Amino acid sequence: MTAHQTVTTANTEAQKNEREPRLVLRPAVDIYENGDAITLFADVPGVSEDSLSVEVDDKTLTLQGDIAITMPDDIESLYADVRSTRYQRAFTLSAELDTTRINASLSNGLLTVKIPKREEVRPRKIEVTTS
């Protein structure tokens, strides 16, 4: 009977952890648009390329990344301003964007995501002829 109680307690604790929302950091993002594309610049300091995830599902773009905080063995943290080590942000994309051609790059903590517009919605110049 004791083993059964232990399993029940462990399952209840796991269920409680699943229900509690995980704290995440929302990275600051600048968004620029021109005639050809929309470009997002997200500040994700401390995130490595290996722990970064840029995903598009239907019309939702999701940015996620884990910060790697390494502490020397002889130092103990007493206080930290950052309560989470995970960045996460999601955006709803418009139908005019071509989600099959998204490009992303990471350099010095700055994530750049370029989302091109579909060809048919891009502005184009019409040549005028004289008769």
Contact 41, 30 (CB under 8 A): yes
Task: State the Cα–Cα distance between residues 104 and 52, nearest whole angstrom.
Answer: 11
| pTM, full prediction | 0.72
Residue 61's closest CA among 88, 24, 86? Answer: 88
Q: Give the pLDDT confidence of 93-121 residue by residue, as tens digits.
A: 999 999 999 999 999 999 999 999 988 87
Examine the pLDDT at 85 and tell me if it is beyond 60.
yes
In three-state secondary structure terms, 75 is coil
Q: Give the pLDDT confidence of 37-75 residue by residue, as tens digits.
A: 999 999 999 898 999 999 999 899 999 999 877 778 888
- State the DSSP code for 23: P
Q: Give the pLDDT confidence of 17-41 residue by residue, as tens digits.
A: 555 566 888 999 999 999 899 999 9
